[in-house]
Amino acid sequence: MAKETWISDALSGALTEQEVTLKGWVKRTRSSGKICFVTIRDSTGSIQCVAKAGNLEDEQLDALKSAIIESSIILSGTVKEDQRSGGYELAVSGVEVIGPVNPDSPFPITESAMEAADGGETEFLLDNRHLYLRTSRMTTMLKIRSSVFGAIHSYFRNLDFTEYQAPCFVAGAVEGGSTLFEVPYFGRKAYLTQSWQLYAEAAMPALERLYTIAPSFRAEKSRTRRHLTEFWHAEMEIAWGGNEDVMAHGEALVRHICKTLLEERSEELESLGRDLDLIRRYADNPFPRIRYDEAIERLQALGVDIEWGQDLDYSKEKILTQDFEVPHFLTHYPRIAKPFYHRPDPEDSKYVLCHDLLAPEGYGEIIGGGERTWSEEEILERIDEEGTPREPYEFYIDVRRYGGVPHGGFGLGVDRVVSWLAGAEHIREVIPFPRDSRRVTP
Ligand code: ATP
Ligand code: MG
């Protein structure tokens, strides 16, 4: 029995002239008379397989000839060095078609459909997302995405953070009411969580260093290239730490993600046309910090219509980050621009001790974080000045009555980070089944 192997191993050169069995899906096929060329792929690569009459039974050759694109197939044969291309191919001696595709309804994601989409995603490709996942572009995105998830876990675990889970059904908002998803909950109202943060703060006195990667939900009505209604949120919280400590983690994490991608996914990034020197630059250089006030001055100097006190939306971030060589932290937002849990700066309480990390190349915010309001007195003052009802936050206030300590944390949008590092045009390109205000299918 020939050795079952991944296509990447057959292409490695180590199996030349050996008998192997490959399992995969038909990517391309061409036959003329008594010879059939089939390229098959698995998750590790693709290889040309050549079947010639005489080397296998006629029935098997016919079966191979009739196997059209995306049929699943098992081929056995000998790995041969292909003199012309310098690569490797399989000289086929055995064929088994496992899941044939009906020729009356061929695989709909054709090369012309991909070309029409030009690297982006048409409604047609989104409607057929379950099939589009198999294309090399999407597979590449999913591999890069997996490495980013792995890098986040390894960053925190190497530092002895505890992974901690919060509920998805909640009673209160973290990021403001306008993006809350309401769900009927046995005669009451509940909401889908916008962030893990408030529940992480409750566990902070127990675990001190905690993190998660989980979905967050936001009813983003406007469709932008960087908002989903369900996105993957990597969040962390530390006890005995302030805004600077939290920023140091954010910076180290993003640089660790860049380094991991360079180690694990250089080939994939290059296949997407990504310049690895840019990723190296992000991995190797410190991220500067600028205060909100300075950012407003810069924007005003560029003729942008913005006033002190306003939050920066995407259009402003885009202008600001266009000339950035590396990600920049924006710190010290006005108190009036940020929710109640942000701690006012003891040096000037007009500001809060917070930060956003803005990615370069016009991508904008990838992290939002800061120091938390941690005394009972201060949190009540902040909640009341904001006009937020206290009731849904009773547990949150209560935590501060029993041994409150300075603490802080951040949330990083994983899909946004993947989108930036992969050089995607739109955040939808990097998540298997994107959700936005118009789409919950497939
Ligand atoms: P924005 O102003 O861009 O909507 P935000 O200020 O609402 O972002 P935070 O509440 O600070 O974002 O959330 C932390 C991080 O989560 C953000 O920096 C971003 O990376 C990510 N994020 C927030 N909302 C979304 C979304 N709708 N889709 C994808 N990622 C998101
Ligand atoms: Mg938002």
Indicate whether 391 and 305 sit together in one domain: yes
Report DSSP state, residue 348. E
* Final residue of a structural domain among 80, 99, 118: 99
Query: Distance (Å, rounded) from C-alpha 294 to C-alpha 207?
Result: 37
Assess contact for 381 and 349: CB atoms under 8 A.
Answer: no
Structure tokens at 437: 């205000």
Instruction: Answer yes or no: is 440 within a domain.
Output: no
Residue nearest to atom 9 of ligand 1 (CA): 368
- CA nearest to 149, candidates 257, 267, 280: 257
Indicate whether 11 and 140 sit together in one domain: no
- CA nearest to 200, candidates 159, 170, 244, 158: 170
Indicate whether 322 and 371 sit together in one domain: yes
Assess contact for 389 and 352: CB atoms under 8 A.
Answer: no
Residue nearest to atom 30 of ligand 1 (CA): 413
Instruction: Answer yes or no: is 394 within a domain.
Output: yes
Alpha helices, DSSP H, located in 129-196 = 129-132, 136-158
CB distance 316 to ligand 1 below 6 Å: no
Query: Distance (Å, rounded) from C-alpha 72 to C-alpha 97?
Result: 6
Q: Which residue, chain included where needed, has tokens 């996942």?
A: 133
CA 75 to chain centre: 35
Buried b (16+ CB within 10 A) or exposed e, 299-319: beeeeeebeeeeebebebbbb
Query: Distance (Å, rounded) from C-alpha 159 to C-alpha 155?
Result: 7
Instruction: Answer yes or no: is 439 within a domain.
Output: no
* Final residue of a structural domain among 56, 78, 99: 99
- CATH number of the domain within which 46 lies: 2.40.50.140
Most informative mutation of 341, 366, 416 for ligand 1 (most atoms within 8 A of CB)? 416
CB distance 236 to ligand 1 below 6 Å: no
Assess contact for 379 and 371: CB atoms under 8 A.
Answer: no
- CA nearest to 46, candidates 97, 10, 91, 76: 10
- CATH number of the domain within which 423 lies: 3.30.930.10
| Domain span including residue 331 | 131-430
Assess contact for 408 and 370: CB atoms under 8 A.
Answer: yes
pLDDT at 408: 98
CA 258 to chain centre: 13
Indicate whether 89 and 138 sit together in one domain: no
Report the relative pairing of strands 328-331 and 354-359 from DSSP bridges.
antiparallel
Nearest ligand (C-alpha, residue 179): 2
Indicate whether 299 and 422 sit together in one domain: yes
* Final residue of a structural domain among 45, 75, 99: 99
- CA nearest to 45, candidates 91, 95, 10: 10
Report the relative pairing of strands 348-352 and 289-291 from DSSP bridges.
unpaired
Q: Which helix (DSSP H) or strand (DSSP E) does residue 349 occupy?
A: strand 348-352
Q: What is the pTM of this model?
A: 0.96
Q: Is 127 exposed, middle or buried (0-12, 13-18, 19+ CB in 10 A)?
A: middle
Into how many domains does the chain fold?
Answer: 2
pLDDT at 376: 95
pLDDT at 33: 87
Indicate whether 10 and 81 sit together in one domain: yes
Indicate whether 281 and 184 sit together in one domain: yes
Instruction: Answer yes or no: is 230 within a domain.
Output: yes
Instruction: Answer yes or no: is 126 within a domain.
Output: no
State the sign of the Cα–Cα–Cα–Cα dihedral 288, 291, 292, 298.
negative
- Distance (angstroms) between ligand 1 centre and the Cα of 68 equals 43
Indicate whether 87 and 230 sit together in one domain: no
CB distance 413 to ligand 1 below 6 Å: yes
Instruction: Answer yes or no: is 435 within a domain.
Output: no
Instruction: Answer yes or no: is 105 within a domain.
Output: no
Which residue pairs, CB below 8 angstroms and at least 24 apart, start in 1-7? 2/76, 2/77, 2/94, 6/42, 6/43, 6/44, 6/45, 7/40, 7/41, 7/42, 7/44, 7/45, 7/46, 7/47
Report DSSP state, residue 172. S
Indicate whether 145 and 95 sit together in one domain: no
Helix, strand, or coil (residue 387): coil
Indicate whether 267 and 402 sit together in one domain: yes
How would DSSP label each residue in 22-38?
EEEEEEEEEEETTEEEE
Indicate whether 142 and 204 sit together in one domain: yes
Q: Which helix (DSSP H) or strand (DSSP E) does residue 293 occupy?
A: helix 292-301
Most informative mutation of 178, 317, 365 for ligand 1 (most atoms within 8 A of CB)? 365
pLDDT at 1: 63
Torsions phi, psi for 280 (to 5 deg): -60, -40
Indicate whether 361 and 248 sit together in one domain: yes
Query: Distance (Å, rounded) from C-alpha 324 to C-alpha 312?
Result: 16
* Ranges of residues in the chain whose predicted pLDDT is under 50: none
Residue nearest to atom 11 of ligand 1 (CA): 368
Query: Distance (Å, rounded) from C-alpha 17 to C-alpha 13?
Result: 9
Residue nearest to atom 27 of ligand 1 (CA): 227
Instruction: Answer yes or no: is 301 within a domain.
Output: yes
